[in-house]
Structure 1
Amino acid sequence: MQYRRLGSTGTKVSQLCFGTWRFGKRSDGVVETDRGEAHDLLDAYANAGGNFIDTANVYGDPNGTGEEYVGDWLAGRDRDEFVLASKVYFGFDPENPNGSGLSRTHIRRQIEGTLDRLGTDYLDVYYVHRFDEETPVEETLSTLSGLVEDGRVNYLGASSMAAWQLTKMLWKSEVHDLERFEVTQPLFHAAYRDTEEYLDVAADQDLAVCPYSPLAGGFLTGKYERAEDGSAVGPEGSRADLVDSFQEYYVDERSWRVLDEIRSVADELDATPPQVALRWLVERPDYACIPIVGARTVDQLEDNLGAVTISLSDDQRGRITDAREAEPDVE
């Protein structure tokens, strides 16, 4: 495993982050990743040298289950060897009118619960999961800065939000001399273009970028084949088979062009498509990019981790980028 600085901070993290959003998650009444499976995945990640673990207070069913799984696992290890990230925003207490958002009340309540479930007295990164239009930015940032000052949080992060919202919060931090975001977590993968302005802000401000869904919900793993109508056909039980919005969200002409190039490069390197797709992100030139992988099985995770052992040539990287940036064919 290789390590890199987390944006402009002095903390070093593994080139791939491990995401735990499936821990304790129920789909049609079935737990996608149970406690034992979660611990097997974390063991495999740590044994490979991974040290950056991403979770959230609302992961799992009920809320907090994902953090509990991670906390149980950490209890048998040296906490200080790992960089832990969690998040706050979404509703945790459905019946509580103050049970969501980025108010001082909600943030202070949630950080205590998160630390308790993780069995630690500090987080390395605390993300705002979304932008809160109902709470003054100064209230949110001053509360988060207090968590840094009292040692419960080391760095602040911003997950999904518009580029102008990220810019506004960074500006408010500077104007009011408050802690600023050092890490961002947008949706981003080799076939996705809707985060360009957001990524420009990250590059300008020297923020780390930790993309979620770096394999386009599994589309860029190469397990899907193209049907005559351009849709993706995958194995039974795959996301395309189970999730109605998959085709609309991940599959279009650009996606197929990018996947074709990723497959071609994978053949040239004797690698797999997931490894190439992840490596294209790791090698982003303008900012530290640390993709969040969320494998379901140890075999999938070990395949993903192979991305740290390969390198793309300028030509290979450029071909994938060109496929991504090419305009759609006009008939």
Structure 2
Amino acid sequence: MEYRTLGSTGTKVSELCFGTWRFGKRTGDVLETDRAEAHELLDAAWERGINFIDSANVYGNPNGTSEEYIGDWLSDHDREDFVLTSKVYFPFDGWGEPGPNGSGLSRTHIRNQIDGTLDRLGTDYLDLYYIHRWDEETPIEETLDALNGLVEEGKVNYLGASTMAAWQLTKALWKSDVHDWERFEVTQPLHHAGYYEDVADYLDVCADQDLAVCPYSPLAGGFLTGKYERADSDDPQAVAGPDGSRADFDDVFGDYYASERGWKVLDAIREVADEVDATPAQVSIRWLMDHDDFTCVPIIGARTTEQLDENVGACDVDLTDEQWDRITDARYRDGDTLWGH
């Protein structure tokens, strides 16, 4: 495992970030990752050199479970060895039915949430605190001022932004510059080789402002692992997968991850994977890691140590420029026309 400087900060993180959104998560009657399994995965991630751990206050059922699992595990380790993240925006069900100030990015909600996050993680500071979404109802100045206060108090080292439009990110950065507040240093968009939406403008902002990019769902919910097949040549959202796979219990899988663009890209990924003796998952993750306009640290998740090992194997994959371009070019139909959904 090698380490990369996180954007324009001075902090070094592993080439991959370990995501914990499945910790304590229930999908129907299925508990995806219990406490013992979470600790086993954290052990495995740390043994493989991953020092970057991603969470959010609303991960797990009830919310906060993911942070609690991490905090319990971290109590047996040196806190300073790790770069910890969490997020704020959504209603936190530990507070019961959310009231009028129970969500969003107001100073009130941010202040109400940060101490709970720190308590559950068993730490007195976060390395990185993301806003989980853009808040249309709160002036961005109020949000940034509140977050800047957390940095000044030593509760947070760096700020990050997850999932917003390019113009919103640009506005927030400009407001930070004007008011001399801490700015967003890291972004966390949904981004993978086969994504059916175009995030080029967003990534251009990140490159121009030297922001680190930590894409979530780098394997498109498992779509880019290659375990799914197209079930209907006329319908890109018709997917056939193994029993018990995400496509079986996730109602939005076909709508959200499977697209005409996705299938074209998956074909190219499979081809390249055969050439470099790697799995489609490893090639998909490597494609993200090899962005050269900005620091890109994909967030990988895993239900088993075997899946974790496969994902970490992306660090040992080498793609030529031609192979990287071939995967990128598969997104396009004719010239600069992107395949649609």
User: What interval of TM-score do these two structures reach, taking the shorter chain for normalisation?
Assistant: over 0.9
2:188 corresponds in structure 1 to: 185
Shift of 1:310: 1.2
2:227 corresponds in structure 1 to: 223
Name the Cα RMSD after superposition. Answer: 1.3
Shift of 1:325: 3.1
Matches within 5 A, 1:231-270: 231-270=238-277
For 2:32 and 2:339, locate their aligned partners in 1 and report how far apart those are by CA, in whole Å: 39
| Unmatched segments (≥5 aa) in structure 2 | none
1:132 corresponds in structure 2 to: 135
Deviations 1:220-243 (A, max 9, x none): 001011223442211011111212
- Comparing 225-234 and 128-137, the one that deviates more: 225-234
1:306 corresponds in structure 2 to: 313
2:203 corresponds in structure 1 to: 199
For 1:111 and 1:329, locate their aligned partners in 2 and report how far apart those are by CA, in whole Å: 42
1:321 corresponds in structure 2 to: 328
Please tell me whether the aligned partners of residues 253 and 328 of structure 1 are also in contact (alpha carbons under 8 angstroms): no
1:108 to 108, 111, 130: 111
Amino acid at match of 1:46: W
| Unmatched segments (≥5 aa) in structure 1 | none
Shift of 1:29: 2.7
For 2:321 and 2:288, locate their aligned partners in 1 and report how far apart those are by CA, in whole Å: 14
For 1:194 and 1:239, locate their aligned partners in 2 and report how far apart those are by CA, in whole Å: 24
Deviations 1:117-165 (A, max 9, x none): 0000100000000111111211111110111111110000000111111
Please tell me whether the aligned partners of residues 57 and 87 of structure 2 are also in contact (alpha carbons under 8 angstroms): yes
Matches within 5 A, 1:2-41: 2-41=2-41
For 2:27 and 2:317, locate their aligned partners in 1 and report how far apart those are by CA, in whole Å: 35
The number of aligned residues is 330
Deviations 1:161-186 (A, max 9, x none): 11111111111101111110000000
Matches within 5 A, 1:55-134: 55-92=55-92, 93=95, 94-134=97-137
Q: Secondary structure at the match of 1:174?
A: helix
TM-score scaled by length of structure 2: 0.94
Q: Secondary structure at the match of 1:142?
A: helix
For 1:80 and 1:303, locate their aligned partners in 2 and report how far apart those are by CA, in whole Å: 27
For 1:191 and 1:28, locate their aligned partners in 2 and report how far apart those are by CA, in whole Å: 28
Shift of 1:328: 6.2
Amino acid at match of 1:117: R
Amino acid at match of 1:35: R
Amino acid at match of 1:240: A
Shift of 1:58: 0.3
Please tell me whether the aligned partners of residues 88 and 107 of structure 1 are also in contact (alpha carbons under 8 angstroms): yes
Q: Which runs of 4+ in 1 moved over 4 A?
A: none
Equivalent pairs: percent with the same residue?
Answer: 70
For 1:218 and 1:95, locate their aligned partners in 2 and report how far apart those are by CA, in whole Å: 33
